Structure 1
Amino acid sequence: MASCPPSIRHRLDRLGVMLSALCAVHCVAGVVVVAVLGLGGGLLLAPEIHRYGLAAATLIAGLAIGLGTMRHRRRLPLLVATAGLSCMAVALFVGHGVEEAVLTVAGVFLVALGHLLNLRPA
């Protein structure tokens, strides 16, 4: 797997950054829409969305950052992304609200940063 073409890894890293951005927008927009308008709480804040998002983030980060770590031997992207995935996982266990939003947004920021660090040339 270490011989995987950089273009595949780069695409996965870019997908990871995009997924992180979409997750952050969903989280912030969900809290705002529910708090301000009182609409869509059942759909926007459904736990399934967060579990599926965490599963997708873990899979993409595992592949992209794992391949990158094997190729460039830098651990920082892996450590940063792991911290972000951990924040996202903890967010699943706190109630809906500010704590969940803060943990999720911090987590997706760290995962996106891990992907960006992974894209940097050695």
Structure 2
Amino acid sequence: MPKRFSSLLDKSAMTLSGLCIVHCLGGTLLATIFAASSGWLGHDVHLIGLALALPLAGFALWRGVLVHGQAGVAVLGALGIGLMAISVFAGHGGSTEIMLSVAGVSLLGGAHLWNLRAARG
């Protein structure tokens, strides 16, 4: 698989992580702006985000480890996904959910950035 495709996967995953952080931290502002969003800001968005993140992160990070051999990338990504999964079971909108979600997507985004840099170098 070409490096360009692997790079695109990591960049897509990092974009998804960024969108998650915007969702988590900008809840009040976004709730006002997107009041008619039909649940875009509801708890189901976490399940959808996790369902998108699992295969994208799994494939991109696994592919990266095969290319550059740095298994820590996958460990950091797995930790991020794990925190994201735990946050799904926390009460929606509570500080525990927000902290777990932000920590999880930050770790996962960091893993993708590490993966990108390791594959280049």
Using the size of structure 1 for normalisation, the TM-score is 0.86
Aligned-partner Cα distance in 1 for 2:11–2:41: 26
Partner of 1:89: 85
| Structure 1 segment 55-74 matched on structure 2, within 5 A | 55-74=51-70
Partner of 1:20: 17
Unmatched runs of 5 consecutive residues or more in structure 1: none
- Identity, % of aligned positions: 37
Partner of 2:117: 120
Aligned-partner Cα distance in 2 for 1:16–1:85: 12
TM superposition shift of 1:45: 4.1
Aligned-partner Cα distance in 1 for 2:55–2:6: 13
Aligned-partner Cα distance in 2 for 1:15–1:120: 15
TM superposition shift of 1:33: 3.7
TM-aligned CA distance change 1:117 to 1:59, over 3 Å: same
Q: Determine which of 26, 29, 44 is the counterpart of 2:26.
A: 29
CA RMSD, aligned part only? 2.1
Using the size of structure 2 for normalisation, the TM-score is 0.86
Aligned residue-pair number:
116
Q: Match for 2:56: what amino acid?
A: I
Aligned-partner Cα distance in 1 for 2:30–2:105: 21
**Deviation digits for residues 41-96 of structure 1, max 9, x if unmatched?**
x8254222100101111111111111011111111110111000000000011112
| Structure 1 segment 75-114 matched on structure 2, within 5 A | 75-96=71-92, 97-114=94-111
Contact 2:23 2:30 in 1 (8 A): no
Partner of 1:46: 42
